[in-house]
Amino acid sequence: MSRVLIIDDTPEYIEMLGDILSDYEIFAAKDGKKGIQLAQKILPSVILLDINMPELNGYEVCRRLKLNKELQNIPVIFLTANEGTNFEEIGFEVGAVDFISKPFNTAILRARVSTHINLYKLQSNLKKEVANRLKEIKNLNKEMMYLAASIAEMKSKETGLHLKRVSSLSYLIATKLGFSENEAQELKMASILHDIGKVAIPDHVLNKPEKLSQVEWEMMQKHAIFGYDMLKESDFELMHLAATISLEHHERWDGTGYPKGIKKEEISLVGRIVAVSDVFDSLLDKRVYKEAWSPEAVKSYFQDMSGKQFDPKITQILLEDFETFLETRNSLEI
């Protein structure tokens, strides 16, 4: 049963409206403040609001309702004995959807309340449907990004788990740096593609167990540029973020990294974050060219490389909460 909230300082009108609208679940408040509190509690399908009330008049109550994210879409119908058009102009400006004049015409009152409740339900259902579809599309995009990035991992005989671990570790760093949830989630998604450029590296270089020759090392370094070139022309901002990460996650704080040799804050913050996440996971992982390092050895390495290979602030975040990062990484190992 739909809920109707009546906010009116006249008990007789509340009783009358309750009788006319007996097909609905009726709630009532005799002043604006209590009406707003009650609206937050019951989330009605429509609010019938008197204009002329002491303390908070109907206009101010409506304005406050529209500032509340939970209540702003609930239709507000003003109840008024006022004459003229000025009160209607003000009412529509503060967010009302309709007006019903006192004394009430029973048929008109029922029809208007029914119409606005049905419209509100339809809009709410449409928003839920859109939200569900957007969630599906977002999940599909995420899966497609994992799939694309996994191609590079498969070429290098690694598993997609490295991608997920770097993604989750980058998200963790971002939250500790004060990123908003949306920003951290975008980084989490974009970082999946940090090594996509490896698809363009020859297999004999990518999977060589011995030390690479100078020519082979120079070829390997090009994967950062290859990834950037693959992603930079996209129409989507998330891909632009991924392009930056691909290009800069092998740059070093001291300027001795590749491919551009930039240093410190010249390197994007997202590039510096993923640089830490990528190396942290890679060192703990067994690769074709090395055995897995112990956590103690990894911790010691980051202590030594702070301010050299890695941003010292990000390194400090990792070292101060090393066990949490280790647990996060290990939880995605299987």
4-13, 97-106, 130-139: which is most confident: 4-13
The secondary element (H helix, E strand) that includes residue 326 is: helix 322-330
**Mean pLDDT in residue range 123-131:** 84
Structure confidence by residue, pLDDT tens digits, 307-321: 999 999 999 999 999
What value does the mean pLDDT take over residues 108-130? 90
pLDDT value at residue 83: 62
Chain centroid to CA 238: 12
Question: 182-233 pLDDT, tens per residue?
Answer: 999 999 999 989 998 988 888 888 888 888 999 999 999 999 999 999 889 8
Average pLDDT over residues 115-144: 80
CA angle 136/163/191 to nearest 5° reads 75
pLDDT at 334 over 60: no
What's residue 140's pLDDT?
61
Mean residue pLDDT across the chain? 90
Cα 320 from chain centroid? 27
Q: What is the dihedral sign for C-alpha 115, 120, 123, 126?
A: negative
CA 277/CA 107 separation, integer angstroms: 66
β-sheet with 46-50: strand ranges across: 25-29, 3-7, 46-50, 76-80, 98-101
154 pLDDT tier (thresholds 50, 70, 90): low
Per the model's pLDDT, the better-predicted residue between 129 and 47 turns out to be: 47
Domain ranges of the chain: 3-128, 156-330
pLDDT above 70 as % of the chain: 91
| Class of CATH domain 156-330 | mainly alpha
**188, 198, 222, 263: which one is catalytic?**
198
The whole-number average pLDDT for the span 5-30 is 94
Categorize the per-residue pLDDT at 304 as very low, low, confident or very high, splitting at 50, 70 and 90: very high
What value does the mean pLDDT take over residues 102-120?
A: 91
CB neighbours (10 Å) of residue 221?
16
How many Å apart are CA 275 and CA 186, to the nearest integer? 17
C-alpha to C-alpha distance for 32 and 52, rounded to whole angstroms: 10
**pLDDT by residue (tens digit) across 170-185?**
999 999 999 999 999 9
Which CATH number is associated with domain 3-128? 3.40.50.2300
158 pLDDT band, cuts 50/70/90, is: low
Distance of alpha carbon 247 from its chain centroid, rounded?
24
Asked if pLDDT for residue 145 goes beyond 80, the answer is no
For range 249-277, the mean pLDDT: 97
Is 198 a residue of the active site? yes
* Top-confidence residue, 108 or 156: 108
